[in-house]
């Protein structure tokens, strides 16, 4: 089925470990996004990529890096995980007709 695929769905990390969240879309969308969702705070934009080859910081970029590997894939990397990065992460892509979201990655940093 067409859509946005995120991996992994769940992850537990120790403080200081690194990991990469993967996101891929097969809808030929130009724009892709990474959000984090925390209770009572709604969704907040971490980074976005308006088109292949470009990335920009969103509202809460500190502690994260991204790579727009190609038009389909947009990865989010935590170089040194901190407990404050415990959250649910959503990847999304968009075109003129709207947004499509992945099913989320639940990350816990202990």
Partner 1 sequence: SQELEQSPQSLIVQEGKNLTINCTSSKTLYGLYWYKQKYGEGLIFLMMLQKGGEEKSHEKITAKLDEKKQQSSLHITASQPSHAGIYLCGADPGNQFYFGTGTSLTVIP
Using CB under 8 A, which of 26, 59, 79, 95 touches partner 1?
A: 59
Least distance (Å) from partner 1 to the CB of residue 101? 4
Question: What does the DSSP assignment read for 26-73?
Answer: -S--SEEEEEEEETTTEEEEEEEESSTT--EE-S--TT-EEEE-SSSB
Q: Is 45 in the site for partner 1 (CB under 8 A)?
A: yes
SS3 label, residue 83: helix
Closer by beta carbon to partner 1, 14 or else 98: 98
Q: Is 101 in the site for partner 1 (CB under 8 A)?
A: yes
């Amino acid at each position: 089925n067409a859509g946005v695929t995120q991996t992994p769905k769940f992850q537990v990390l120790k403080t200081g470990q690194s990991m990469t969240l993967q996101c891929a879309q097969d809808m030929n969308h130009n724009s892709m996004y990474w959000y984090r969702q925390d209770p009572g705070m709604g969704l907040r934009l971490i980074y976005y990529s308006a088109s292949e080859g470009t990335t920009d910081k969103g509202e809460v970029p500190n502690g994260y890096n991204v790579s727009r590997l190609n038009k389909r894939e947009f990865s989010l990397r935590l170089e040194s995980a901190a407990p404050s990065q415990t959250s649910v992460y959503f990847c999304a892509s968009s075109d003129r007709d709207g947004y499509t979201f992945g099913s989320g990655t639940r990350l816990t940093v202990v």
